[in-house]
Chain A
Amino acid sequence: MKKLYSNKLVIFSLVLPGLLLFVLAILAPICLSIYYGFTNYSGMGHAKFIALDNYKALLSDKTFHRALLNSLLLAVGFIVIQHPIAIIVAAVLDKLQGKAEGFFRCIYFIPNVISVAVIAYLWKFVYNPDFGMLNNILKGFGYQGKINWFSADTAIWSVLIVLIWHGFGWGMLIYYAGIKNIDPVLYEAASIDGAGSKESFLRITLPLMKPVIQINVTMAVISALKQMETVYLLTKGGPGDSTQFTANYLYLQAFKAFKYGYGNAIGVVFIIICLSITVSLNRFFREKKQK
């Protein structure tokens, strides 16, 4: 048995496809990115080695700073707006029984299975100043002006609303799954002891949900960092750089501004940021757990 389980050839054949794909689609491109990050390659012609110039430029690049700030704003938006609503809705949903529970759960998740392409264009119309849904709603409340939802001051908030709206179902579902894992006996015991639903939510649900909340918060921060598609289709990062995000910025630099080398340098820094934030969040939560 032992011999069978340590046959090198068999092991190699089992991990080969996975390893090969990892090397081809993830490792090789990262190495190539590191190389081009040191050059001033435009996308065509000759690549000249310029050492750390791209990285020096990045340090003082205001657009890049704005992109990171927007990711932070989005992460805060997820954590302060989306998640509290998601937890409460999940807890309330758990109390419902039968058909209604399935019905609401289904509705909340539907936006998540719709393509970002549809979501982005749909919201472009929702925000449309002439016939958009939002201005029509405001008209219903008696407001006659036309609000431009994509002006330099408003655009980032409009983008945040779309992203918070779109990701809501996913976050809710994870909390819902976590709540379903809580032993109902605990709630029964609490209600026998005279606890109302508010107390049992604060004293039982929230504390027991801690690990789920930590996972969800980590994922929210990462996805705020990785945001690109919705912004790319909604605003292309504009007007100005008001809705710029890192991934969108590196893409535009490489393919629209023909600074392929610079785009790759942003990519390298982007990977480092994602890795270090994931690792440090995990470590932070693990240490807290041990205490």
Chain B
Amino acid sequence: MTDKGAIIKKVILWVILSAVAVVQIFPLIWLIDFSLGTSNEMFTSGLLIIPEKIQWGNYVKAFIDGHFLLYLRNSVLINGLAVILVTLFSIMAGYACRRMHWKLNGFVKTLLLLGMMIPIHATLLPNYKIYHTVHLTDTIWALLIPYIAFSLPQALFLMTGFIEALPIELEEAAVMDGCGIYRIVFRIITPLLKPSIATVAIMTFLNNWNEFIMASTYLSSHKWKTLPFSVLEFTGQYSSNYAVQFAVMALTAAPAVIVYILLNKHITKGVAMGAVKG
């Protein structure tokens, strides 16, 4: 191939990649741009605006009136707990289904995996009724229980695969030394599963971090609401002040985007591993 052909090919490559990148990212740039101006400036004809004075006040309003800190704390707490418990439960159940000898192991595993195919939305109505009857609405449990339950099937699926790949000789040696099952699971297996745990944790986190339809069905007060509610509640409050609405959107998107950019290599790997297996 001639040099000229190689250059042309490279240019085409870059054009494709850049065009898709612009389509994917431009709405977000537009969002940040408009969040820094005043609402009046939006009605000028250009695609992007150059704010006369950068309106940091939009972000102050978004931060305070959007209950940003409270909702961020709730999101971090609920998702953190969900990730820890999903990981723990999936290791336990995965180990029991893969390594232990019992009659029902295939059945229980299939039953638990069935959860992957059940649409969350079909459980919204009955779960609301259940939580309402046992007074769990508006508590942290109303989110934790379904978040864990619906992340567990996928986590279990991944974990059983990972556990299967571990050499059994290690466990045999541990049994010779007099280890019980619990010690084997938590002291020997768990540390070996570190990369897999990262994958499960990332998948669980991505599944639940942006969830809002369960939250908006089961919660009524501010107490446990999560980050998406900053945006949802704001539109009513500042219905005509568009710039502040843009600011609150940028602000609530920021934590996940920043964490993603910082950890993007690990997250990509985790998602890829999880997805190819799943």
Task: Select which of A25, A88, A121, A181 is within 8 A of B123 by beta carbon.
Answer: A25
Whether A33 lies near B122 (C-beta < 8 A) is yes
Given the complex, which residues of B lie within 8 Å of A102, measured CB to CB? 264-265
Nearest Cβ on chain B to A246's Cβ, whole angstroms? 8
Determine the distance from Cα of A284 to Cα of B46 in the docked complex, in whole angstroms: 51
A118, A173, A228: residue with the most chain B Cβ atoms closer than 10 Å: A118
Given the complex, which residues of B lie within 8 Å of A169, measured CB to CB? 24
Nearest Cβ on chain A to B254's Cβ, whole angstroms? 9
Whether B101 lies near A33 (C-beta < 8 A) is no
Whether A7 lies near B181 (C-beta < 8 A) is yes
Question: Is A202 an interface residue when CB atoms closer than 8 A count as contact?
Answer: no
Nearest B-chain residue to A232, judged by Cβ: B213
Of the listed stretches A52-60, A73-81, A131-139, A147-155, chain B binds A131-139
Whether B272 lies near A275 (C-beta < 8 A) is no
Determine the distance from Cα of A30 to Cα of B232 in the docked complex, in whole angstroms: 29
Whether B152 lies near A110 (C-beta < 8 A) is no
B-facing residues in A244-291 (Cβ within 8 Å): 247, 250-251, 254-255, 260, 263-264, 267-268, 270-271, 274-275, 278-279
B80-110 interface mask toward A, CB cutoff 8 Å, 1 = contact, 0 = none?
A: 0000010011101101110111100000100
A-facing residues in B37-94 (Cβ within 8 Å): 42-43, 45-47, 85, 88-90, 92-93
Nearest B-chain residue to A41, judged by Cβ: B129
Classify the interface of chain A: helix, strand, loop or mixed: helix
Given the complex, which residues of B lie within 8 Å of A96, measured CB to CB? 13, 17
A-facing residues in B218-273 (Cβ within 8 Å): 227-229, 231-232, 235, 242, 245-246, 249, 252-253, 256-257, 259-261, 264-265, 267-268, 271-273
Question: Is B170 an interface residue when CB atoms closer than 8 A count as contact?
Answer: no
A-facing residues in B3-25 (Cβ within 8 Å): 9, 13, 16-17, 20-21, 23-25
Given the complex, which residues of A lie within 8 Å of B125, measured CB to CB? 33, 36, 250-251, 254-255, 260, 263-264, 267
Query: Quick one: given A110-B25, A247-B121, are A25 and B126 in contact (CB under 8 Å)?
Result: no
Given the complex, which residues of A lie within 8 Å of B88, measured CB to CB? 17
Determine the distance from Cα of A92 to Cα of B16 in the docked complex, in whole angstroms: 8
Query: Quick one: given A177-B275, A232-B213, are A25 and B25 in contact (CB under 8 Å)?
Result: no
Whether A140 lies near B102 (C-beta < 8 A) is no
Nearest B-chain residue to A101, judged by Cβ: B17
Determine the distance from Cα of A59 to Cα of B130 in the docked complex, in whole angstroms: 28
Whether B149 lies near A26 (C-beta < 8 A) is yes
Question: Is A201 an interface residue when CB atoms closer than 8 A count as contact?
Answer: no
Nearest B-chain residue to A32, judged by Cβ: B126
Whether B47 lies near A114 (C-beta < 8 A) is no
Query: How many residues of chain B get a CB closer than 8 Å to chain A's CBs?
Result: 96
Determine the distance from Cα of A251 to Cα of B148 in the docked complex, in whole angstroms: 22
Whether B119 lies near A22 (C-beta < 8 A) is no
Whether A26 lies near B123 (C-beta < 8 A) is yes
Query: How many residues of chain A get a CB closer than 8 Å to chain B's CBs?
Result: 98
Query: Quick one: given A11-B100, A22-B115, are A118 and B46 in contact (CB under 8 Å)?
Result: no
Query: Quick one: given A15-B108, A18-B90, are A24 and B256 in contact (CB under 8 Å)?
Result: no
Determine the distance from Cα of A200 to Cα of B85 in the docked complex, in whole angstroms: 45
B-facing residues in A151-185 (Cβ within 8 Å): 165, 168-170, 173-174, 176-178, 180-181
Whether B261 lies near A21 (C-beta < 8 A) is no
A95-127 interface mask toward B, CB cutoff 8 Å, 1 = contact, 0 = none?
A: 110001010111111111111111001110110
Question: Is A236 an interface residue when CB atoms closer than 8 A count as contact?
Answer: no
Task: Select which of A21, A85, A180, A255 is within 8 A of B272 by beta carbon.
Answer: A180
Nearest Cβ on chain A to B115's Cβ, whole angstroms? 5
Given the complex, which residues of A lie within 8 Å of B276, measured CB to CB? 174, 177-178, 181, 212, 215
B108-136 interface mask toward A, CB cutoff 8 Å, 1 = contact, 0 = none?
A: 10011001011111111111011000000
Nearest B-chain residue to A28, judged by Cβ: B130
Nearest Cβ on chain A to B26's Cβ, whole angstroms? 8
> What would 5 more interface pairs be, CB under 8 Å, given A15-B96, A177-B272, A247-B119?
A19-B111, A30-B118, A32-B126, A89-B16, A107-B21
Contact sample, A vs B, 15 pairs, CB 8 Å cutoff: A10-B182, A17-B92, A18-B90, A21-B152, A22-B115, A29-B123, A33-B125, A109-B268, A118-B228, A121-B249, A165-B24, A232-B213, A250-B125, A267-B122, A271-B122
User: A-B pairs with the 10 shortest C-beta distances?
Assistant: A177-B272, A25-B149, A247-B121, A29-B126, A117-B228, A115-B210, A32-B126, A14-B96, A267-B122, A18-B93
- Measuring CB to CB, which residues of chain B are less than 8 angstroms from any residue of chain A? 9, 13, 16-17, 20-21, 23-28, 30-31, 34, 42-43, 45-47, 85, 88-90, 92-93, 95-97, 99-102, 108, 111-112, 115, 117-127, 129-130, 145-146, 148-150, 152, 156, 172, 175, 180-182, 185, 206, 209-210, 212-213, 217, 227-229, 231-232, 235, 242, 245-246, 249, 252-253, 256-257, 259-261, 264-265, 267-268, 271-273, 275-276, 278
